[in-house]
Every structure is written in structure tokens, then in C-alpha cells.
Structure 1
């Protein structure tokens, strides 16, 4: 039984490598599955990771390599001799190879393509011809294709003859005479059907399909929503060009979610394993957003300066500034995070903006009333009822405003073609801080008459 955790494995493998214990390394590799080996290699420095990789058996080398992310694949490739370099690339799945070559430097890409066999080079070049980030870069062109007019018996013969060289046979695309997609049929349905039944009588004609130039993340989300293990990919004339498989879809969703999480926290995504990332690399990924946010935070300073006379007259107002700005920022961040997530999984669309804004407005209002009750009690105990009323009313107003801002900014960003995750929680929080102070001091002037 495989363990879900492998704490200590990396330290053990690193120690074996550093002491040059080749026998120990081979034993360690033999005792661990490919995905665990790949995980440990990603945690190691590249000059160390190449040592255990070279000691892998040929039949496991490719399995481990395809488990690595593209950043570490590049590092491994650059540490191999030409023969091993080209053999590894030749054996890779076409979609994995195309993505790797598409991300390496031009010099390495030229070297990689030059060493491929003519058939694999042609297949890889075709995939690289699709736009970056499109589903065409992630689909596998190697698939068993069935004609709609053949029988189940003949179809099973085709699967047996060609299935070993394809990535998946569980969902089989069905085409007509012009190679146009007619639908799909499940292998399980073929197995339990009579050999004389025609494929056209079993084909699912309503199966979702995507164009090869469609965004890969959208295709992966569609697979998740429709519970598919493979999704047909067609060209502009509805001719089948490949299949997006569930493993690639999972990687796409994981990468997209990781990027969204990074951007929502006010940082740029960092490719590769966190443990292996350098201090400078992590700092660089976060610094740009922090610089932008500190500039945006000057809005708060300007607002405080504009209402300096109000603060001088009622100094007790300053006591509640941190509480109000913090509360507003938190509400706005919660709202923004909820909407970004809903956008990512397709629960919300741009046309839903008015409805989303109205819903979040009411949510913010309800939250504001709840928090205002607490603020009134605290404010009355500390500074008296007049200022406590100001604080209570402000809490309601800020929570309502923050919820609206947090919910609409991601949708507006999507509208103008910007990644909604870029409108991150820290940015929303900073904006709400400045506008929240305007609301606070304006309410104070009205209620207190100053």
C-alpha cells in the first residue's frame, strides 16, 4: 500500500547523492513509484537531481520524466548527453514533448527538434503551430479513430491493433467519411455490445467538443463540468485533430488554480517546486506587486491629510481607523475571492455582473449590521455614544461598499480582457482602505456636525 506522505524521503535521497552511494540510490529508486521520485527530484538542486535520474532503468526513466514539471524537465535534459537527450524526447507523448519544446530556449528547442525522427518531428511541429495556451498544445494527436459505418467487431480489432500506441482508449472518437467528428463511443460499451452492431447506432452525438485554438484552461474546465475523461478537439471544419485527456486537464486546472492563488495574494506565479526555488526568485515574484500596492496605499495617506482638521477637532476618530480599514479590506477580499473562484469554475459570467453586485451588496449590508452591533458596544464603552454611532453607521456603509467593489472588480477585469485574479485581494483591500476613510470622515462630519 502506497503512503500519501513521504516526509524525510528527500533528505534521505539527497544524503545518498551527496555521499555518492550509488547502490543506495538504486535501492531507493526501486522502492518508490515514479511520481514520488519526480517529487523528490524537483526538491533537489539540478546538479544533484541528474545523478539519480541517470541511474533509473530505461523503462522507468520516461515515466519519471513525464511526471516532472517543464522547469525541471529542462534542467534534466540539459544534463544529459546527446544520445540520452534525443532518446528521451523521442519516447515522450507528443503533447508533453510539444509543451516542453515550446518553453525551452530557442537553442535547446532547435537541438531537440533536430534529433527527432521525421514522423515525431512532424507531429511536434504541428502541435507547436497552435497558439500558446490553446488546447491544441495540450491535446494528443495519437488516438484510435473509428468510422461510424463499421461494426463493433471491427472496431474492437482496430482498438487492439492501435490502442497500445495511444494515450487513451476509454473514449473513442467516431468520424464520418470526411473525418468530421460524429461523436464518441465508450470502450466499455463496445465490449458489452454484439459484434454485428454498427458504431453509428452507439455513438454519442451530443458529446462536447472544442476547437484546437480555444483556451486550454476553458477546455479543462469543460471536462471537469461534464465529467469527461477525454474531450474531442476539432479544427475549423469540425475535423478531428486530437483528444484532450483527463491527466492533462488536471494539470491545466492545477496550474491555473496555482496561478490564481498567487495573484490573489499579490504575487506573480513561481514555476517549479517551492522548496527548490531560490530566495531571490521568490522575492522577485512578490516585489512587483508590493511596490504597486505601496504606491496605491499613498491614497490612504492623502485621505488622512485631507481630513486632518476633522481629526484635530475630534481626535477620538483616529482610534477606529485601523479597525474600519481592516474590516473593509477583509470584506472586500472575501467578496473578490468568492467571485474569482466562481468565474474560474464557470458559475458566474460577465453578464451576471448586476446580479452579483446586488447580491454582494446585500451580503455586505447584513455583515455590516452584525459588525456594527459589536462596534456600537465597544465605541460607547470607550468614547461615548456619539462617536460610537458614527463608527456603527460607517461599518455598515464600508462593509456594503467593500462587498460591491470586491465583487465587481474581477468581473470588470474579465470584461476588458484582464485576468480576474490580477485584481487580487490586496489590491481590493488597498482601494477599500482609501475609499473607506472617505466614507468614515464624511459620515462623521454629518453626524457630529463638524
Structure 2
């Protein structure tokens, strides 16, 4: 049954992708034929996320034309789904009145996310054009540090009082439903906005009309502080399976909520940054695939230069042992194997450790236990691969000293790589550096240089000249 459901879900997903591509192709055809009424009719029934997908995949010169065809009541919601680079392109195309209306209709958290990516002078101009209430809400969020709960929260939520009856609560929800982020999570505050309880819409629906909110609410409330890091907010929502989590200030006053859709955006951005960092790339808010080629090269060159210097050191070690290589030429053929294997083992260990740190599954106080464990893993991996390499090397070369040299070196390098792959991320984390950004190049440097040194030291001990 489960397998059948998975197949159905995959088919539905494929069908949705085909539909989105069909909408994009038809929209482009209508616009190129200047059939604007046809394009407008096509976009009206389409889901906002699908409409945004279709618009942002049009040729750049058609973005503004397509967006201006949208009805006003849908344009801001579709705009929030667009890629940030397309959003900024459209801003340059809008007239002041169009821009003011669009920005004013956006939800505060999505508006702040957009403003974070715009030049400061444009941000000041846009803030001046907002209505008084929206400018106040936006300025509140911009006042918090980037990447914190305060910065990603929305101040649009439903708050209730303990003395409200269920009927009164429903009346308030109806009045606020169109201007709040969600009505599924409801928050109870006292006269000074201190958070005193929480209840769900289900609790409200199943309660008697004359019951008070104080009788049915939960007083044990999980909340986050405005200064909490956005990744920790995401873990809180994941841990408790929340649709939203309340955000309180230093005086425990409710100032906003972070919803699960905002957390998904956070997780995507943070994961992208970590993946880029593991590859030695500097993360950027801008879409990598739309960046200028010179900017891409500048951002990628830093760690490539580090690795270039590393290779110079490695080459120096090889050159210093040239006399040995001249006498036993077969030693040279195994250098790439040893260096690459060491890098692969180190990368595996560092990836596991960095992922554990990011998911808060590893505590730095347990560092020595973790390093020891990875060292033992490296020893076992080295033994398994070393035995295989010894046998293969002997079959090809019929030379036991060389075969043993390669096998023992591989065992030592695997142990070194696994240990450093665990130790370096934990070290950088304790020093306050990003372990994902710092670990990969340092592990490569460490393993390459020391691995070649180990190889030649073992060779001098075992191979007769």
C-alpha cells in the first residue's frame, strides 16, 4: 500500500511539473504574439507559486510585461514567490506608484527579506513610500539583527484574551483572518502583551461556545526569543512539529510569530550555504547561476589558491625524494591513489561531523570521544583498503617491499585523514569559525602534505636501494 501511494505521489509531482512547464510555454507564446488578453486569462486561475515559476523562467525582457498583466489582488502574493534577482529586476521596471502599491501589500516578513537584498538608498526610498502602519511593522523587523528570529518573524498574528468566550474568539478571528499570516495557531496575552497561553483552531472548534479561552488554552508555551539564531528557530519548530512558534522580547511580550514556510526558506538558505562552503565557495544571497562571470571567478578563486599552494608543497616533498623515485620508479604510480584516498576519507569524516554540528546532534564537550571514534573508523578503513592494495600491488609488480609500503602508507593516511576530518571541524567550531567553510581546504592541505611524507618515510624504511 505504501509503495502504491509513493508511486501516485511521484506521478502527481510529475504532472504538476508538466503543468507548470505548459503554463510557461503558453504564456511566452501569448506574450511574443502580443496576445495580452490571452496571457492574462491564462494566469488568473493558476496557483501563485506556479505563476511565479512561469514568469521567472520567461526571457528577462518579458518579466515586467507578464507581471503587469496580473490582477492586483494576486500580484503581491505572486511577487513573494519570485526569485530575488527577478524581484529586483522588476523593481527597476516599476513606476513609483506601482512599486508603492506592490511593496505595501506584501507581508512584513517577505518585505523585509526583499529589502535586505536591495541597495540602502533604495530601501530608504521604499520605506518612505509605505503607509504608516506598514512602515512601522517593517522598521520593527529591520531593527533586529540579521538571521535572528526577530528578523524573520511576522507581526501579523491572532492574539486573544483569557476572558474571551469561544464565540468572541471566533468573531475576532473572522475580523483578522484576511490580514494575519495564519489562524491555525492562536496566542493568548494579558493586558501588557505578555504571552500567557496558546491554543489551536482545533481546540477552539471542539470547545463549547460559552467556554472561556482561559479554560481551554495551554499554559505551557514553547517560545523563542527575538535574538535566537534562525537555525535554532528552525530546529525548535522541527522538534515540536509546530506550524508556527511565538517570538517574545526580553520582557516576555509577544512581538511576532515565525511560521513553518519561513523556516523552510531558512533551511534552504542555510543548507545551500553549507554545501557551497564544503566546496570552498563563498555563499551569496544572489542566484549563483545568474551572477556575473567575474564575480563567480573571484568568489571561487580564494580556496583554489590555497590548494594551489598546497600542491606546491606536495610537489616540493616529491622533489626532495627524487633520488628514491629514480631508483624505484614504481613508487610514483601510487602517489595519486594515496593522496586521493586520503582526501576522500577526510571528506567523509568532515561531512558527517559538520552535518552533526549543524543539526545540533554533536556537542563540542564530547569532542575527544568523537575524534577517537573517527580515528578507530580510519584505522579499520585503512586496514581493509590496505590489505586489498597490498595484494593488488603485488600482483602487478611482484615486489613485496613496494606492495607493503603502499598498503602501510594507505593505512596510516586513512587513519590520519579520518582523525583530522573529525578534529578540524570541531576545532574551528570551538574557535568561532564556520567549520564548513574552513575544514575542506585545511583537510586537503593537511592530508596531501603529510600523506606524501608518510609514504616516503615508509618507503625509505622498507624498500632497499
Match of 1:172 among 186, 192, 198: 186
- Distance in 2 between residues matched to 1:285 and 1:31, nearest whole Å: 42
Matched, 1:297 2:311: yes
Verify the 8 A CA contact 2:44 2:71 in the aligned structure 1: no
- Distance in 2 between residues matched to 1:12 and 1:339, nearest whole Å: 47
Verify the 8 A CA contact 1:134 1:216 in the aligned structure 2: yes
Deviations 1:348-374 (A, max 9, x none): 232232222122112222221221121
- Distance in 2 between residues matched to 1:8 and 1:328, nearest whole Å: 48
- TM superposition score normalised by structure 2: 0.89
Match of 1:347 among 351, 355, 361: 361
- Distance in 2 between residues matched to 1:136 and 1:204, nearest whole Å: 24
- Distance in 1 between residues matched to 2:308 and 2:23, nearest whole Å: 41
- Distance in 2 between residues matched to 1:30 and 1:353, nearest whole Å: 56
Rate the CA distance shift 1:392–1:92 in 2: closer, same or farther, 3 A: same
**In structure 2, what is the equivalent of residue 338 of structure 1?**
352
How far apart are residue 408 of structure 1 and its match?
Answer: 2.1
How far apart are residue 175 of structure 1 and its match?
Answer: 2.3
| Residues 7-16 or 327-336, more deviating | 7-16
Verify the 8 A CA contact 2:310 2:448 in the aligned structure 1: no
Match of 2:433 among 414, 418, 428: 418
Matched, 1:225 2:253: no
Rate the CA distance shift 1:16–1:350 in 2: closer, same or farther, 3 A: farther
Q: How many residues align?
A: 450
Query: What are structure 2's unaligned runs of at least 5 residues?
Result: 1-11
Matches of residues 22-421 of structure 1 in structure 2 within 5 Å?
22-30=36-44, 32-273=46-287, 276-383=290-397, 384-421=399-436
Deviations 1:161-219 (A, max 9, x none): 22321001111122234322223211111110223434334333444321112212221
How far apart are residue 333 of structure 1 and its match?
Answer: 0.9
Verify the 8 A CA contact 1:71 1:271 in the aligned structure 2: no
SS of residue in 2 equivalent to 1:297: helix
Deviations 1:141-161 (A, max 9, x none): 111112234343333332222
How far apart are residue 347 of structure 1 and its match?
Answer: 1.4
How far apart are residue 29 of structure 1 and its match?
Answer: 2.6
- Distance in 2 between residues matched to 1:364 and 1:252, nearest whole Å: 34
Rate the CA distance shift 1:176–1:309 in 2: closer, same or farther, 3 A: farther
The CA RMSD measured in Å over matched residues stands at: 2.4
Matched, 1:446 2:461: yes
- Distance in 2 between residues matched to 1:364 and 1:431, nearest whole Å: 15
- Distance in 2 between residues matched to 1:278 and 1:24, nearest whole Å: 35
| Residues 202-211 or 179-188, more deviating | 202-211
| Residues 89-98 or 438-447, more deviating | 438-447
Query: What are structure 1's unaligned runs of at least 5 residues?
Result: none
SS of residue in 2 equivalent to 1:423: helix
- Distance in 2 between residues matched to 1:408 and 1:13, nearest whole Å: 54
